[in-house]
Every structure is written in structure tokens, then in C-alpha cells.
Chain A
Amino acid sequence: GAVVSQHPSWVICKSGTSVKIECRSLDFQATTMFWYRQFPKQSLMLMATSNEGSKATYEQGVEKDKFLINHASLTLSTLTVTSAHPEDSSFYICSASDERGIDIWDGDTQYFGPGTRLTVL
């Protein structure tokens, strides 16, 4: 149980284009989803927290107009990197939790997706 998937697993795009990354909870309802960014050999940096049906809460320094997050259902959140540039190249990881304990008893635990490697040329 508690499986999170991401799609695509890797993407290469041209500078100036937009890229959408999907994060799905496969066997539980994710009341909250988190988006992280990880640079090579570094830790995960939280970008934003999203709750189903409401606007995402962005961390300080993260451009909300550049990193659009939508959490339209209890099993799907999307991150769109708009007008991507080479400096946006990174490993993007989502996580999900079931804080209301609908499907998972330990609602405080985050379950992570496998990550999406974005390369902007």
C-alpha cells in the first residue's frame, strides 16, 4: 500500500517551453501533496504544499507563477514548470500523505514518488 507514482520519469525540453509533471497516489487518498526539488548530491528542498481543492502554499523564494501546482483531486497533483530555462533542470520529487486517515492509519507519514528528472536545453 501507499504507492505514489510520477509521470514522466524523465523529460528533456527546449528553453522557453512548459513541462507538466504528474503525481498520483495509487491506493490511497492524498489529502496533502508536497513538491520537492533536489540538486545533484544535495538534500530535498520543499517547494510547495498543496491540499486538495485549495491553492498551494509556496515556500519562500519559490516563484508561484513559474511553478504552477494544481491538486484537483484526492489522487492527483500536477506541477507545471512554465517557460523553463536551463537553471530549472533538476530532479523533482513529489510526496503524498493521508492526513485525515481515510486510507492510511499513519497520516503523518509522507510517501514519495520515484521522481522526475527534468533537463532543459
Chain B
Amino acid sequence: AQSVTQLDSQVPVFEEAPVELRCNYSSSVSVYLFWYVQYPNQGLQLLLKYLSGSTLVESINGFEAEFNKSQTSFHLRKPSVHISDTAEYFCAVSATSGTYKYIFGTGTRLKVLA
């Protein structure tokens, strides 16, 4: 079984400042890792994912995450945030084989302040 921990429920940060949203996971098998973003009253949008290969993955809007197997982490970072980045961010894992079910973290609410 897998589990995901997002320690920070809320992260306030000023515009143009850097931000890191933490995600740690636990699993006895190999996993895929995902970050999704949810804007108010909307579904989830895929931000980025790690399936294999390079441990550093990037999104088109400036976010990046690094898969660290030894620390079982997949932290999300952005060097300079915008007001429009204000949203809920969910980390998820799924086993590389089997049912492909996602296990979600509890989410981190990023609030970008002017």
C-alpha cells in the first residue's frame, strides 16, 4: 500500500518569491508520482509527473519537482510565484503495476500575496 504526506496545509508567500510545496510518500513498490493543481470549484489539472528517467521534471508554467528516491520525496518548487498560482496543490502516487489507483495527499493551499 502507498501513502502520501503533504505536511503543509497552507503556504502563504509573496508574489515573485520562491516557493516549495513538500510531498513525501511511502510505498513498498515502485511508484509514479504526480502533482495536480485545483482552482476553486474546478477539477484537477495535471501539473507534472514523474514516470521514469530524469528525476527532475518541469511544467510549462515554471514549476518543477524532483524525485528523490532515498528521501521518498517529490517536492514542488517554483522560483518566482504569481498571483495566478493561488490554488490547491495535490501530490499523488500510483504503483507502477496493478490497478493504477492514485493515492492523494491532503493538499496544500498556496496563497500568493501581493
* Chain A residues close to B by CB (< 8 Å): 4, 6, 32, 34, 42-44, 46, 49, 57, 93, 95, 97, 99, 106, 108-115, 117
Within 8 A of A (CB), among B1-57: 32, 34, 36, 41-46, 49, 51
Interface residues of chain A: helix, strand, loop or mixed (majority): strand
The residues in B between 98 and 112 inclusive whose CB is less than 8 angstroms from any CB of A are 99-102, 104-107
Count A-B pairs with CB separation below 8 Å: 52
Interface residues contributed by chain B, number (CB under 8 Å):
22
Tell me the B residues contacting A by CB distance below 8 Å: 32, 34, 36, 41-46, 49, 51, 90, 94, 96, 99-102, 104-107
Check if B100 sits within 8 Å of A108, measured CB to CB.
yes
CB-CB < 8 A to A57: which residues of B? 99
Instruction: List chain B residues, Cβ under 8 A from A106.
Output: 49, 51
One of A109, A114, A117 near B49 (C-beta < 8 A): A109
